[in-house]
Amino acid sequence: MVATPLLPLEAATPAHICPFDQACSYLEAAAKELKLDQGLLEILSHPRKVVTVSIPVKLDNGEIRVLAGHRVQHSDILGPYKGGIRYHPAVTLREVSALAMLMTWKCALLGIPYGGAKGGIALDPKQYSVRELERITRRYTSELIKDIGPSVDIPAPDVGTSAREMAWMMDTYSVNVGHAVPGVVTGKPLSVGGSRGREMATGRGTMIIVREALADQGKTLAGVRVVIQGFGNVGGAAAELLHEAGAKIIAVSTSTGGIYSEQGLDIAALKAYATANHKSVVGFPQALPISNADLLTLPCDVLIPSALENQITKENVSQVQAKIIAEAANGPVTLEANQALEARGVIVLPDILANAGGVVVSYLEWVQGLSYLFWDEERVNREMEHLMVHAYRQVIQHSKTRQISLRLAAYTLGVGRVAQALNDRGLYP
């Protein structure tokens, strides 16, 4: 069994599927397949640095509240740490540690010179005003000022954050060091050094991987029936791009509920409706209501979970009818559920591949920012597609050569590259 992290983490309740334990299980499986030395496995199973800071904030009503903010830096073997900042009530140190580890393998798989990191604050951003969120973000950034930077650790948006929060982080860091540093974060607005194509990047990457998987079956996106859990930045972008390519989006959902239409949804009309209704799709007049639980079990060609982790579990996996599952969220399919799906012949496109479009364009934004030379959206999309398709082809070939699942193939490629770099760099002192 992989050792536990150096710093104590919250204990998981018996009923809860611990994301960190699951991430370690995937690491163990890859290490076994690669026949890694136990010492290497021990190093890779521990985050290099775990930072937890107090974030005192004065609310608009004058009340003082203290929040806890985390930043876990898993590995910088291949380059600076990279990973999102998540604002969500369910954020825990275990979850952030798991996501930081997954970012390490994801960057290595895509051939990007980054290590993995993740950050988060346990809060519901809907319960705070814009001014309160700005104060929280700026204080959080100030507390991490020695632990982030364009050659150290480069945050990005994640669940509950956006280009707005990244602009606040970039400004706070720049004010503290005395000059503008656009490369300290990615996913920024265009006005302060963001990249064209970043907003749609994760959804576009998912679309590309689904397209390639269908092409391997001799199919195109035209007429393919798609169900998407989550209609935010990722799911909404994937829905729009898949719809444009001819796919039929028959169901989507948000945290408040979902909608279903056998004839396919009008995505442009739905996006306008959601924008006018606080990002909710519930009540859309051209569709029937459906729960998030029932949405996951609809008969379809492609299911795209793009919300949170642990959505398909041993409790509901037998009811899932999709032929292809593309993990646009991090860890939406549990280990047990994944094994059951593979046994049934369901193609599961793993998260470290299917949702990698965001970190790819974040990398391209970082490169543009460091060079102060910015590209048009066509070039950004072209560069991203090249990296995504290349990684997909490597995973497919690795899966066939080793006779292993796509998930294990993706993990062995990512873990193997980090392990090789660690071997080549050696252990200091």
Active-site residues: which are they?
Answer: 118
Annotated binding residue 381: no
Neighbours of 122 (CB within 10 A): 18
- Between CA 25 and CA 256 the distance in angstroms is 32
Measure CA 317 to chain center: 22
> What type of residue is 70?
H
Q: Which residues contact 317 (CB under 8 A, 6 or more apart)?
A: 336, 337, 340, 341
**Which residue is listed with tokens 């949804």?**
265
Q: Are 364 and 384 in contact (CB under 8 A)?
A: yes
Contact predicate 168/155, CB 8 Å: no
Give the whole-angstrom CA distance, residue 320 versus residue 239: 20
Closest to 322 (Cα-Cα) out of 235, 208, 210: 210
DSSP 218-257: T--STT-EEEEE--SHHHHHHHHHHHHTT-EEEEEEETTE
Annotated binding residue at 106? yes
Q: How many CB atoms lie under 10 A from the CB of residue 418?
A: 23
Q: Is 279 annotated as a binding residue?
A: no
The annotated binding site for NAD(+) is made up of 202, 233
The annotated binding site for substrate is made up of 82, 106, 362
The annotated binding site is made up of 82, 106, 202, 233, 362
